[in-house]
Structure 1
Amino acid sequence: MAWETMSFHSINANWQSIERLLSTIRKTHVNGGVILKCFEADDRSLFRKRIFILSNQFESRFQTFLQTVSDSNLLEEFDLEFPLDPLPTFSPIVPLALEGELTHTILSGGAYERFRGSVDEARKLTRDFMASILENQWLSASAFKSDTPWSNWFYDVAWDATYLIFDDKKARIWLLCITDTD
């Protein structure tokens, strides 16, 4: 089965560690925001992230994935129009580095607000968040980052980020988007 024909459903991920991280980012990105979505393949036995991530068509597969889940109204916040313009460009990032990137995002804050806690508090927030979504399966996950504003939800300035996290064991794709503006 090809990725293009797969279907996904949304997972309600309002766990305490996730909500703490999202709330912290919302407090510093006051003119923008943060969105986290989790999607699980309807047929988990067919989900293989390698088919998606090892493709030289990663970005177009991302667009196809977005079309699939937006057809189910699972991405209403983004008010998507296809084809995406611009089509985002993604770079691979290991999950442990993603934890560091999110810590940096918290510490540096948004356009007008900064995190009022310590480095250790920021690290704990991101460590708990990543441990929750990966269920401590650090080496079996893959992550990707894009700074491309692929929807009008983004403000197309310095604080735009999209993260995709693939979890083969649970057949899940996590979509984390952050934006702010001055």
Structure 2
Amino acid sequence: MQTWDAVQYRVVDVNDSRIDAVVDAVSRTHMNGGVLVGCFTPRLAHEFDGAMSDDLRGEWQPARSMLSHPILRNLDPELQISIDADSLTFARLGGYTLEGEITHLIRSSGAYHDSNVNPIDARAMSRDFVNALSDGPNEHLIAYRTYDDWAPWFCGVAWDVTLLVLDPPVRRWWIICVTDTD
């Protein structure tokens, strides 16, 4: 039986203006914290495929395993899990709900700064962002959201959010982390 914990990943370089636009917009409102975005694919496709079909430890296990993976330190040295992964609380989102979640991030205020992106532009930016995460229709995306401050990088207050996005057909994980403090 293959589990998510056995899957090894490599970092995928991200160079996409649709992703940069959202990171810039959210960074402007979360200036005392920050935004991190990363992309990862498995080194061996059969390990990922085995975990997708064999790991029966529950629907949250893929997200917990990804947050525990040492590859995340490539984004920031402080992005290593500092609490028991089993204690994290997740909500599962589909691709279309993910668009709304990204729109909310773009439009939300940080600790001291309000968004200056109007709702119509924010919706277009979020749709483009989610389309950049997937190589086609986003209905197959599986997203996990947590507000838990699971790593020292987070400020540990109301503006902490992590989105993990799994694109199963292309075996790709995305992570979006946002934090701010007053």
Q: TM-score, normalised by structure 1?
A: 0.86
Q: Structure 2 matches for 1:148-163, cutoff 5 A?
A: 148-163=148-163
State the identity %.
28
Q: Return the offset for 1:159.
A: 0.9
Distance 1:137 1:121 in 2: 20
Partner in structure 2 of residue 19 of structure 1: 20
1:129-157 deviations in Å (ceiling 9; x for gaps): 00011123312211110000001111121
User: Structure 1: which 5+ residue stretches go unaligned?
Assistant: none
1:145-182 deviations in Å (ceiling 9; x for gaps): 00000011111211110111111111111111111111
Partner in structure 2 of residue 123 of structure 1: 123
Q: Return the offset for 1:45.
A: 3.6
Count, aligned residues: 180
Partner in structure 2 of residue 56 of structure 1: 58
Partner of 2:57, secondary structure, is coil
Given the superposition, is the C-alpha separation of residues 78 and 104 from structure 1 closer, same or farther in structure 2, using an over 3 Å criterion?
same
Aligned residues of 1:7 and 1:69 also touching (Cα < 8 A): no
User: Structure 2: which 5+ residue stretches go unaligned?
Assistant: none
Q: TM-score, normalised by structure 2?
A: 0.86
Partner in structure 1 of residue 132 of structure 2: 132
Partner in structure 2 of residue 173 of structure 1: 173
Q: Return the offset for 1:46.
A: 3.5
Q: Return the offset for 1:77.
A: 3.5
> RMSD in angstroms over aligned alpha carbons?
2.5
Partner of 2:22, secondary structure, is helix
The amino acid of 1:25's aligned partner reads V
Partner of 2:107, secondary structure, is helix
Distance 1:115 1:15 in 2: 22
Partner of 1:154, secondary structure, is coil
Distance 1:53 1:175 in 2: 21
Aligned residues of 2:31 and 2:180 also touching (Cα < 8 A): yes
Q: Return the offset for 1:26.
A: 0.5
Partner in structure 1 of residue 41 of structure 2: 40
Partner in structure 2 of residue 147 of structure 1: 147
Distance 2:13 2:166 in 1: 16
Partner of 1:169, secondary structure, is helix
Partner in structure 1 of residue 4 of structure 2: 3
